[in-house]
Structures are given as C-alpha cells and as structure tokens.
Amino acid sequence: MLSYGVRNVLSRCTLTPTPRRATPAARLSGRHCSSASSGGDVDRVSALLQLCVDRHYVSPGHTNTERFQCGTSCIYGPLGTELRRNLLEQWWRSVTTSTAQVFGISTLSSSEDPAAEARGRLRMVESDRLLRVLEQPELSREQLVQEVQALIQRSPSPRTNFLQGALEQFVPSLELVNRKLPFGLAESGLCFQPSDGSVAGSLGTTETEVVEENFSSSDVPVEELEGAASRGVRIIYSFPWGQEPLETLWSRGHAELLQTHKGVRSKLQCRDGRKSVPHVVSLTGNMDRGVMAFLSNSLQQLVKEDGKQKLLRRKVLKLHPVLAPVKVALDIGRGATMELRQVCEGLLQEFMEDKISAWPGYLETLPTSMEELNTKYDEMGVLFTVVVSENTLESGLLQVRSRDTTVRETKHISEIKNFLSRYITAVDDI
Amino acid sequence: MLSYGVRNVLSRCTLTPTPRRATPAARLSGRHCSSASSGGDVDRVSALLQLCVDRHYVSPGHTNTERFQCGTSCIYGPLGTELRRNLLEQWWRSVTTSTAQVFGISTLSSSEDPAAEARGRLRMVESDRLLRVLEQPELSREQLVQEVQALIQRSPSPRTNFLQGALEQFVPSLELVNRKLPFGLAESGLCFQPSDGSVAGSLGTTETEVVEENFSSSDVPVEELEGAASRGVRIIYSFPWGQEPLETLWSRGHAELLQTHKGVRSKLQCRDGRKSVPHVVSLTGNMDRGVMAFLSNSLQQLVKEDGKQKLLRRKVLKLHPVLAPVKVALDIGRGATMELRQVCEGLLQEFMEDKISAWPGYLETLPTSMEELNTKYDEMGVLFTVVVSENTLESGLLQVRSRDTTVRETKHISEIKNFLSRYITAVDDI
C-alpha cells in the first residue's frame, strides 16, 4: 500500500510546498472495462451480480448490471443506494477530518468557457436552439455549419473531473488558511465522460484502507499520465472478472495551477517566504466501482456441516457493520399476528429514533421458514435478525441472530436497542 | 402548513391506493428568479450575500452570488458545502426513516431514448462527433441537416427531474414491498434544466418543518400544473428579495405510471384485491434554495447596549446546531504560543474522533482581538468558541463562549468534549 496514508479518496487536492518523488511504473489500463470481455471466474461473476439484483443492491436488467460491472453510474436499489451513501459518508468524514486543513468544496457540474477547445468535450446543447438553426431555409450550407459550430462553442461542458474546479478555488482557499501550506480541498459528485454510447460516469470515492489480497497498487505508466502529472499511483482491486483501478493519486506539479490563474504567481504564493508556486497532489476515485469492490470483497461462500452431516452452502455478504445498509431485520414467529406486528412496529420506531436502519420483515404476508429468512438476510448483509414471537408477549424475550456468528441469543426486549447501538458504535471506524 | 405531515422533501414519490382531493389555488410563479429584478430590502439582500461570501459559505464573484440567489447550483465554500451536506443528511434521514416503507433509490442522471421527442430537451452531445459531421465536404446541405438531427436524437438527455426514474423503479419496488401499498421512493442528486444561458440547476431538497412567518404554502394555479398532475401545493419562503418556492407537492394520478409501463396494468396492481392502478404523489424540492432559505432565515442583526451605553450591532448566523457547519472554534489567548497550539492540536484530534466539526482558529498567525474573533465566529454560525490560554497550561481551565447566549464559561479541559457532545446530541432532531 501507499506509504503516506492514502486511506480513502475521491477528489482531494493537496497543495504542498515541495513536489514528491516518482518511482518505477507498472502497467494497468485505466479506462476500459474488462467486464465485457469477462474472462475470470464466470461462476463467481454471475453469482455476485445475481445476488446484487436479488437482494435490492442493483436494479434488474442486463444493461444495468453491465453498467454496474463497468463501474459507470447505474440504477441502484434501496440497499445499494444506502451502501453507496454509507461509503461516501465514511470517505468524506475521513478525508475532511483526518487533518485540520482539508476543506470540502462544491463546484459547478458544468462550465461555460467559450474560449475552450471544443474537441474532446461533451457539450450540453439545447436541442430546441439547434433544431431552430437547422430549420432556417435562408442559411447557406456554409452559414449553417458556422451557426452550428458557434452554438456548440457557446454550450456548457459538463465536468469530466474535479481538478479544474479545485484549481479555481485555490485562491479563496489560500486566503482561508491565511496563506499557509499545505491544505487540501475535497469534493464528491457527478463527473461525465464521453465514451462510445455510454453516458454519465459518476466519479466518486471509495475507502481502501482494507489491506487484503484483493487490493494492490501500481504506478501509472508514463504514456498514460494525465494532464501535467509527472507521476500516478493506482489502487487496484481484483474483481472476479479482472483488475480494475479504484482510485489514483497524481503528482501534478504546478503547471495547471499557473495556467488556471493565468500565470499570476503573486496570487498563488504562500506565506512561508519562499517565492515558489505550490505543487498539486490530487487523488480521485470512482465511487461506483468502490461500491462494487466492497460488495465483491464481502461476499463469502461458506460451507458448513449440519447435524446430519449434510454440507450446507451459505452465501453471506459480510459488509462492515458501518457500511451494511440494513443493521437489523424485524420478523415475527408463531403467535397472534396482529399483536406481534404491533410489537415490531414499536421496536421499528425505537430503532429509527436511534438512526439504526431496520428492515420491516414483519410486513411480509407470505409465510417463510426461518431458514429461508436467514438465507435472505445473510445475502442482504443484514447484521442481526430479531424475531418476535408469542413468547415475547408473555415474557418480553426475543431471539436475536447474528449474521457473522449465526449464533441465536435470547434477549429481553428492553435491552435490544442498546445492544445494537453499542455494537454499531463499537465498530464505528472502518 | 400542509396537514399530512410534509416535513421535508426532495423527490419522494408515494404510491397510494386512492387519489387525494384538490382545493382552490393561489398564484405564484415557479421558475423565475425574482432576485434579478430585486425589489425587496436591498440592504438586507446585500448584507446576506456579503456575509455568505466573507464567511466561506459561497465562493466570491458576482456571477456566483447571482447563481446562489437564483437558487441554481453555485460554487460553495467549505462552510456552505458542509451546511448543504448537513441539510441533505437531515432531509434524507427524516424521509427514509419517517415510515417503514420509504426506500432510497439512485437512478441514472441521463437517459437514452431515441424515440423521445427532441424538442424542449437538453442533449449531451459529443462535440467531436458533431464537428466531424460538419467537416464532411461531400455532404449536401440537406444531408448535413439530417445527420445533425440524427446525432442529436441519439445523444443522451440529462434528467430534468426524478419522476421518470421513480416511475420506472415502481415495478421492482412493488415486489420489494410484496405488492402492498402505500410505499415511497426517495432520491437526491443533480437535475438539469435548460434556461437562457444558465446551466445545471441542482434539484435537491430542504427541510421545511420550521413554522415561522417566513414560510407559507399555496396551491399551484391550474395553468402551471406539471405533467399529469391534478393538483400542486408549494411551500414558499419569503426571501428579502421576494417569495420563492422551496418545494412542491404534486398529486399526479396514475396516467404517467401507466404510460411508463406501456399500459400493462397487471404489472402495476397491488395485492389488496382492488384492480385499480396506484396513484402517485410526488414531492420535489430545490436543495440550493433550501440552503439559501436557512441562511437567510438564521441571519439575525442584534443591537445591544454595552457598558458605556454605546449601541453595538451584532450579526449572528443562528443556524440550528445540527445544521451549523462548524460546531466549535479553537483559539489561543495569551501565553507561550507553541505550547498552547499543542493543546489545541490535542483538542482538535479529540473533537474529530467524536465527529464534532471544529475550526482550527489557532493556526491563524495574524493577531486578532477577542472582539474581532467573536464577530467572525458569530457570522460563521460557530456554536462555541474555546480559548486556550496560559491559565489552561497551569490549571487545565479554558474559556468557552456560546454563540447564542454570548456567555463565557470556564470549563476544565477534560470536560469540554463531553459538554459539546451532549449539547449536540440533545438538539439532534430539527
């Protein structure tokens, strides 16, 4: 892993007084999606994708799962949406509170710069205006071409990264820190990339502190260096379909900063007496690919012997408790349905007040066996399952099953909320 | 206020078995920006905007403050970014945990539908492709027009609202709730609107439970009803420059749902035995305008008599403790600077571990009077200011000043973190 504590990234630019040094490079392509030509472990790939769809992480449909696998923005179901939110929250908190001088900013999602080169850019064109130009019979062919070109030139370009926005915010931010370096700027949001047929690539972020066999890092080869960067280091995850970069650290020098501020060095200099222009280090990550990496990394297929020496296969999504979209599922066992539901309703309310995300399994009207329920919740990554039964009405006792240990415990209804709160707080930091 | 508990909104579609009734309408325009023709209280407007820029809520520049005032997406500084995040977090939590059956989803930010009518839409065009078409000398004028039209038709359209995405997710969501109504879907993110010269309007969300003189509601006039909606109700805020809608509730019937699913009623019916297609109620809010409303609403200009019977004017940004982007500022008083900074450094670390957002005022190298500091932090909306001084090194005691009471208290360094934690937790719900 990287030596200087790059734990989690989206787009964070650090402005340092001195440049960092480069080391040898290894090859890995950045923009392609190896999933299309999916060699790899076909079974593991389809098992992962199927589980993500079945358990409401990703919305169904071949096009959508392909998007998901490619790390472009896709349609997420309720569990995927919550996982993505949790991941982003963890990233944001860890970036903006890791040191005193990292500030979150929020810049424009598209820019209007009529002087910018039109080539290689997306443009947001108002089709009405363009169609009106095309419908003017009095324009000659040549005039038509000129009018369309001018319209394109005037149309805003959706951003493809956060770098430009951060460079532009350098001057007000430098004032904020009283012209003292280093400081950092962080941003998360949508970025857009033109690519064959596909649309918006949501550039986001991921947390990659997990030091496991599936994570690795490598230098970006010289011919793939971006913009003015003199060095790049990628954090890579080994998906069942091949390696994909999750985030990249760039050492960019000061050329882009100078260019953005039209070479006015005096605006860019810091207070330390040196006349040099600060160097920029940027980190960018793809949030959607981060979500996928965490899902892929936490899916475990366990084999267990039951009492009758039969082998049981069990799929569990062992997401970190902080990331798991559902912390507890509430279900009912045998007994008077109406009364048991009321108990669940009360517990649900209590959990919500404590911001413990709960799954109202008791609303299901189809009868399900306990085994089927456990399979379902394990695949959803639900941390605990609470079962309220007739016994609860009599003695206040309920059953709590843990996803990770599969152990069932009996607890009193009055202590369940604190038990869960304590568990989640204890593991609050990834 | 609305009678059925509309507390906070972004885009939340509720699918109900029965339609709701409509009531008389009052007039208020939805899309214009009254700030341009800013009548209203010019002094209050400029005081608010200046404070937002000076205190790092909004990035400087006339174009940017105009964007901010118009409720379109603008460049936020660190404090504005954090306020916006806090607001969104409150909205999201309250929407998704207010009842058991509201699910967060995340859909695509743009869609590709070659059959869709080109007019009135934004299109994301790859300028390279368009320029290549224009540069083909062998194309006749007529062929050129056709090629450009075809390219526009094939280009993806950025979304202008969340409704279509939610309607498309109706079927998988209905399965999720076991075909039982009502349920809700919530989403937040960027939406785009074509308008003269301007770019991305970030459609977002706001919390409007505050029942105050500046908030009101009114029916949407019939001629401004959107899509298939039979009724609309707006929540309006009175800015110093005029009234602006913050969020709108629409009763939409089932026409759009049927259309999205090509009239296949069987896919849309619920389990309650009735054969009717569910009706849709949607709520949408503009997040950026929400941020502005909270800033506008919390700026108080207080006049206080000092000891010498001089009138002191004091501007305070009385943001709710949950929303305030900075909870505590850390500064140093008289004493050995190096040692005092070390104490601050330790406190900062403690605060961060407890997720209490802190401002490292002690890093400022310019000498500032206590009065200037208080003015600054009051305008930033900082809840508490902690001053570490020589006395702290000797006795462990430090000074804590409250934004809201202006009272200074002496506390022991060991109790300050718990004091702040307790304060913030106690007011956790807006």
Q: Are residues A276 and A352 in the same domain?
A: no
Nearest alpha-carbon partner for B15 in B273, B280, B228: B280
The model's pLDDT over B69-96, given as tens digits with 9 standing for 90+, comes to 988 889 999 999 999 999 999 888 888 8
The pLDDT score that the predictor gives to residue A213 is 67
Interfacial B residues in 241-260 facing A (CB < 8 Å) = none
Average of per-residue pLDDT across A275-289 = 89
pLDDT band of A119, cuts 50, 70, 90: low
Q: Are residues A84 and A201 in the same domain?
A: yes
The pLDDT score that the predictor gives to residue B307 is 67
- Collapsed DSSP state (helix, strand, coil) of residue B40: coil
Q: Are residues B274 and B398 in the same domain?
A: no
The pLDDT score that the predictor gives to residue A26 is 28
Q: Are residues A56 and A202 in the same domain?
A: yes
Residue B195 has pLDDT above 80, yes or no: no
* Residue type at position A124: M
Chain B CB contacts of A192 under 8 Å are 124
Q: Do B76 and A106 touch (CB under 8 A)?
A: yes
pLDDT band of A228, cuts 50, 70, 90: confident
Distance CA B259, CA B140 (A): 39
Q: Do A180 and B363 touch (CB under 8 A)?
A: yes
Identify the top-confidence range among A110-114, B58-62, B210-214, B334-338: B58-62
**pLDDT: is A120 or A58 the higher one?**
A58
Q: Do A178 and B366 touch (CB under 8 A)?
A: yes
Q: Are residues A354 and A261 in the same domain?
A: no
Does the beta carbon of B108 lie under 8 angstroms from any beta carbon of chain A?
Answer: yes
Q: Do A122 and B120 touch (CB under 8 A)?
A: no
Last residue of a domain, one of A241, A276, A296: A296
The model's pLDDT over A15-35, given as tens digits with 9 standing for 90+, comes to 544 333 333 332 333 334 554
Does the beta carbon of A211 lie under 8 angstroms from any beta carbon of chain B?
Answer: no
CATH of residue A378: 3.40.50.800
Interface test with B, best of A70, A106, A330 (most B CBs within 10 A): A106
The pLDDT score that the predictor gives to residue A13 is 53
Residue A40 has pLDDT above 80, yes or no: no
The pLDDT score that the predictor gives to residue A14 is 54
Helix (H) or strand (E) holding B206: strand B206-207
Interfacial A residues in 322-341 facing B (CB < 8 Å) = none
Q: Do B108 and A73 touch (CB under 8 A)?
A: yes
CA distance A387 to chain B (A): 17
The pLDDT score that the predictor gives to residue A364 is 80
Residue in A closest to B86 by C-alpha:
A89
Does the beta carbon of B35 lie under 8 angstroms from any beta carbon of chain A?
Answer: no
CA distance B316 to chain A (A): 20
Q: Does any domain span residue B270?
A: yes
pLDDT band of A118, cuts 50, 70, 90: low
pLDDT band of B397, cuts 50, 70, 90: very high
Distance CA B193, CA A411 (A): 53
Q: Are residues A380 and A240 in the same domain?
A: no
Range of the domain at A245: 2-109+159-296
Residue A398 has pLDDT above 90, yes or no: yes
Among A26-30, A38-42, A211-215, A285-289, which stretch is predicted with the lowest mean pLDDT?
Answer: A26-30
Q: Are residues A88 and A171 in the same domain?
A: yes
Q: Are residues A330 and A292 in the same domain?
A: no
Q: Do A365 and B180 touch (CB under 8 A)?
A: yes
Residue A273 has pLDDT above 90, yes or no: no
Residue B240 has pLDDT above 80, yes or no: yes
**pLDDT: is A202 or B182 the higher one?**
B182
Chain B CB contacts of A148 under 8 Å are 130, 134, 148
Q: Do A104 and B93 touch (CB under 8 A)?
A: no
The model's pLDDT over B342-371, given as tens digits with 9 standing for 90+, comes to 999 999 999 988 889 999 999 887 778 889
Q: Are residues B289 and B340 in the same domain?
A: no
Q: Are residues B334 and B252 in the same domain?
A: no
The pLDDT score that the predictor gives to residue B21 is 34
CATH of residue B25: 3.30.930.10
pLDDT band of A114, cuts 50, 70, 90: low
Residue in B closest to A350 by C-alpha:
B97
The pLDDT score that the predictor gives to residue B290 is 93
Mean pLDDT of chain A: 82
Among A37-51, A225-239, A347-361, A415-429, which stretch is predicted with the lowest mean pLDDT?
Answer: A37-51
Q: Does any domain span residue A136?
A: no
Does the beta carbon of B355 lie under 8 angstroms from any beta carbon of chain A?
Answer: yes
Residue in A closest to B144 by C-alpha:
A141
The model's pLDDT over A60-70, given as tens digits with 9 standing for 90+, comes to 999 999 989 98
**pLDDT: is A363 or A209 the higher one?**
A363
CA distance B74 to chain A (A): 6
Residue B306 has pLDDT above 90, yes or no: no
Last residue of a domain, one of A296, A311, A342: A296
The pLDDT score that the predictor gives to residue B116 is 67
Residue B114 has pLDDT above 70, yes or no: no
Average of per-residue pLDDT across A69-75 = 86
pLDDT band of B198, cuts 50, 70, 90: very low
The pLDDT score that the predictor gives to residue B266 is 87
Mean pLDDT of chain B: 82
Q: Are residues A182 and A65 in the same domain?
A: yes
Interfacial B residues in 380-399 facing A (CB < 8 Å) = none
The model's pLDDT over A95-104, given as tens digits with 9 standing for 90+, comes to 887 776 889 9
Q: Are residues A257 and A178 in the same domain?
A: yes
